[in-house]
Amino acid sequence: MRPGRPAGAFASADQLAAMLPIDEPPLTAELIRSRHDALLRRLRTAAEAAGRDPDAVRIVAVTKGFGMGVVREASAAGLGRFGENRIQEALPKMAAAPDAEWHLVGRLQANKARHAVRGFAAIHSVDSIDLLGRLDRIAKEESLAPMTLLQVNVTGEATKAGFALEWFEDAVRRSGPLSAALAALAAVRLAGLMTIGPAGATFDESRRTFATLRHLRDELQQLTGHQLPELSMGMTADADAAVAEGATLVRIGTAIFGPRVG
């Protein structure tokens, strides 16, 4: 939740429009659809240029910082896959779009694991073996099977969550705690890896980061024999580089909804 806003309080569509910069138009369903479709066409073109199947690229529309009114407009625009960073902010939005596929893309605290399993179809931000095990136990208890992704801190930035790169590189090259944890999974569906690209990077720098994650995914598949089709990587600033390196889930906020307010 952003500072200065009480927990559970979200801007209405009218309040949001009033807070937008003067050069940012109100977020109508038509505008959201137009931006989303233009972005998808661009990413599909990038996939084709990289020799990939464009149908493998899906957008997760990240509604962090926007209220339920915007979620309703996005649903009316035909968007059906949303991402949120925090469970507390996500819960009321889920009520506004109950038929949507919700993805948790922000850091998950262990004490919120049950809420995550119950509420989200996909959890992108599993950053420890302990958290993976907790999610699996809860999913089994709840008779649910959320898709999970392991987050790797490829850039090594202290501000970013995820498995440390050096540890993960070692773990995917030999049997050990990670391969044992994956073999023991009973409920959650481990589907791939996730990372956050470096801020302010060039296209080539971003590609190198995303290529590292793809290689790690490939090595983990070889080690475990488990198919891991998903790579969650790329946001508004580096989506094209991510798609060029194999991204299947691209987490987009600004390019669809504009700058966050407040």
List, in sequence order, every residue forming a beta bridge with 101; answer none if it has no partner. Answer: 81
Count how many domains the chain has: 1
Q: Which domain holds residue 204?
A: 31-257
Q: What is the CATH number of the domain that holds 128?
A: 3.20.20.10
Q: What count of other Cβ atoms lies within 10 Å of the Cβ of residue 169?
A: 16
The pLDDT tens digits for 195-250 are 999 989 999 999 999 999 999 999 999 999 999 999 999 999 999 999 999 999 99
Residue 25 lies in a domain: no
Residue 52 lies in a domain: yes
Q: Which DSSP string corresponds to 208-233?
A: HHHHHHHHHHHHHHHHH-----EEE-
Question: What does the chain come to in residues?
Answer: 262
Residue 23 lies in a domain: no
Exposed, middle or buried by CB within 10 Å (0-12, 13-18, 19+), for 86? Answer: middle
pTM here? Answer: 0.89
The pLDDT tens digits for 89-144 are 999 999 889 899 999 999 999 999 999 999 999 999 999 999 999 999 999 999 99
